[in-house]
Chains A and B, each alone.
Chain A
Amino acid sequence: MVTVERVWEALAEIPDPEIPTISLVDLGVVRDVAVEDDRVRVEFTPTFLGCPALEVMRDQMAESIRALGGEPDVQVILDDSWSTDRITPEGREKLRRSGFAPPAPREAAPPQLVQLQSAAFKCPYCGSKDTSLENIFGPTPCRSIRYCASCRQPFEQFKTI
């Protein structure tokens, strides 16, 4: 018998295809789970619209729902309901431990260049705020590259979305 709880547990086992230290549930991309008989409807909010991992995430969710004996219906929600604020506290801690600086909180207006160039961002390795922006863009759309002058280590900073 498929239940909402079992679906959430199964989805929490799926690693993010690009940052496998955190799960899709940690990432906050599962907005809702509903079960009606065997039919499992999942509302999935993509991180970045051009994220190449989107299809992989969708297919992996469908696969783990099938493994529970459910019939998956994964709806991709194309609106602004995902934000980096939806990454769970556990998810943020896992990111930091893996060398990714977690995102700053979202504000009403999108961030400005002066904010990115400010020293408000902490190095995930040594905790120093003596860091500078190296590149707004990084290995995936969701990350920027910064440099820590204190421990002389470049690091990846999650963009606030």
Chain B
Amino acid sequence: MSERAQLLLPIADDELVLGWRNSEWTGIAPFLEEDVAFSSIAQNEIGHARALYQLVAEELGTTADELAFDRKLEEYRCSAFVELRFVPDWAKTIARHYLYEQADEKRIRALMDSDDAEVAGLAAKIDREEAYHRMHSQMWFDRLKDEPRFVEAVEELQPLVNDRGEHTPEFAELWDEMTIVRRSVTGATW
């Protein structure tokens, strides 16, 4: 696998899976503004995943959709941190959102300095969009930073941010859910 694929696939997989997790709040968030916010953030993250997969797909002779939905479970490189399913726990959801945005900012900024011009160019675009996710997570951090449930959730989740060991049982369920359409109708186009 190319250097670019090694670098971008874990990021693309994180964005796809976290986008999926965020979208699980659509329709059931604690209030309307957050329903809109989490749906929008989910849409952006999946858009970033698609663009990152596209850069890798050209090199690997495949497509973004095939990378997103046709790989075997063990081929995904996402971290356990994004795999966990937190609905309906808002404290954990916000703790993950905050920790993810902090870690993602460092990772995207590093890509912006890449010698690979396509990677650097895409990272710069992603960073402009992520700025709004960071603001949203900062706003929630400021609001919850003294709440014991939130503080506990941050402490519990922090060590998992870059845990790319075994996939979690939650990911096996998610993989089944997100790949079932393409697995059941091989070769179908939409």
Closest residue of chain A to B50 (Cβ to Cβ) is: A49
Are B121 and A79 in contact, with the CB atoms below 8 A? yes
Interface string of A121-161 (1 = CB under 8 A from B): 00000000000001111111100010000000000000101
- Check A51 for interface membership: any CB of B closer than 8 A: yes
Per the 8 Å Cβ criterion, residues 74-116 of A in contact with B are 78-83, 110-113, 116
**How many residues of A are counted as interface, with CB atoms below 8 angstroms from the partner's CB atoms?**
27
**What is the minimal beta-carbon distance from A66 to any residue of chain B, in angstroms?**
21
Within the complex, which residue of A48, A80, A136, A139 is in contact with B135, where a contact is CB–CB below 8 Å?
A136
Residues of B within 8 A of A69 (CB): none
Are A141 and B43 in contact, with the CB atoms below 8 A? yes
Q: Bound complex: CA of A159 vs CA of B131, how far in Å?
A: 11
- Check B63 for interface membership: any CB of A closer than 8 A: no
Q: Bound complex: CA of A159 vs CA of B125, how far in Å?
A: 14
Size band of the interface chain B makes with A: 20 to 34
Within the complex, which residue of A48, A83, A137 is in contact with B47, where a contact is CB–CB below 8 Å?
A48
Q: Bound complex: CA of A141 vs CA of B164, how far in Å?
A: 30
Other 5 A-B pairs with CB < 8 A, given A112-B135, A135-B33, A137-B37: A49-B51, A78-B125, A79-B124, A110-B128, A113-B135
Taking Cβ atoms with an 8 Å cutoff, the residues of B that contact A are 33, 36-37, 39-41, 43-48, 50-51, 54-55, 118, 121-122, 124-129, 131-132, 135-136, 138-139
Taking Cβ atoms with an 8 Å cutoff, the residues of A that contact B are 48-52, 78-83, 110-113, 116, 134-141, 145, 159, 161
Q: List 18 A-B contacts (CB under 8 A).
A: A49-B126, A49-B129, A78-B51, A78-B121, A79-B121, A79-B124, A81-B121, A110-B131, A134-B33, A136-B37, A137-B33, A137-B41, A137-B132, A138-B40, A141-B40, A141-B43, A159-B132, A161-B128
